[in-house]
Chain A
Amino acid sequence: NAGVMQNPRHLVRRRGQEARLRCSPMKGHSHVYWYRQLPEEGLKFMVYLQKENIIDESGMPKERFSAEFPKEGPSILRIQQVVRGDSAAYFCASSPEGKEQYFGPGTRLTVT
């Protein structure tokens, strides 16, 4: 049973470009969460999605960030017009019923 998959594992973008991060949950899991870990900081919740629905986006920055979890395919976290402060590790987690969460390997975004 494959775990949570994220790609790319490393992503380099110049300031002003767009970053797209993908997450495929564990088989049988319909709940997806995105977290961000800034250097030397703890993980911070960003958004919680179920298929085709955003359930909780209270941790998402108001601008430039969006997320989706379509009926088919992976969940996508999209960051428009990236800035240096967006450089971080972005982790996706999945859960079968919104309780224990299992994390993917993360995408390390570097903005130059």
Chain B
Amino acid sequence: RKEVEQDPGPFNVPEGATVAFNCTYSNSASQSFFWYRQDCRKEPKLLMSVYSSGNEDGRFTAQLNRASQYISLLIRDSKLSDSATYLCVVNGPTQAGTALIFGKGTTLSVSS
């Protein structure tokens, strides 16, 4: 089983749509969870941290289910500028435990 698995997509949606991405992780000891976005092979940019209680930032909502080792990201009212690759990220079982383990990403394309 891969350490972090995501549906690669692509997800093609019209502007204004709601879209959800899912992710599973294999290391039950992971304590930190994030969503990053990456545009056209540029650097990953932190979108939001994910907490057990769930958290929301504007149009973006992230959920974490530790029992199922499952993370989700919901984007409401999609904008053209949301087109990017969304990376599910957890801290890894490395020596210091702070290195990040990245999924391969889910590609979103928002069209007008």
A interface residues, Cβ below 8 angstroms from B: 31, 33, 35, 37, 41-45, 48, 55-56, 58-59, 89, 91, 93, 95, 98-106
B interface residues, Cβ below 8 angstroms from A: 4, 32, 34, 41-46, 49, 87, 92, 94-96, 98-105
Q: How far is the CA of A41 from the CA of B4 in the complex (A)?
A: 13
Q: How far is the CA of A45 from the CA of B95 in the complex (A)?
A: 12
Q: Which residues of B contact A89 (CB under 8 A)?
A: 41
Residue pair B44, A91 in contact (C-beta under 8 Å): yes
Q: Which residues of A contact B103 (CB under 8 A)?
A: 42
Residue pair A103, B43 in contact (C-beta under 8 Å): yes
Q: Which residues of A contact B98 (CB under 8 A)?
A: 31, 33, 48, 56, 95, 98-99
Chief secondary structure at chain A's binding surface = strand
Q: Contact check: which of B43, B99, B104 meets A42 at CB < 8 Å?
A: B104
Q: Which residues of A contact B42 (CB under 8 A)?
A: 105-106
Q: Shortest distance in angstroms between B91's beta carbon and chain A's nearest beta carbon? A: 8
Q: How far is the CA of A39 from the CA of B59 in the complex (A)?
A: 31
**Known contacts being A33-B99, A42-B87, A43-B102, is A103 close to B44, with CB within 8 Å?**
yes
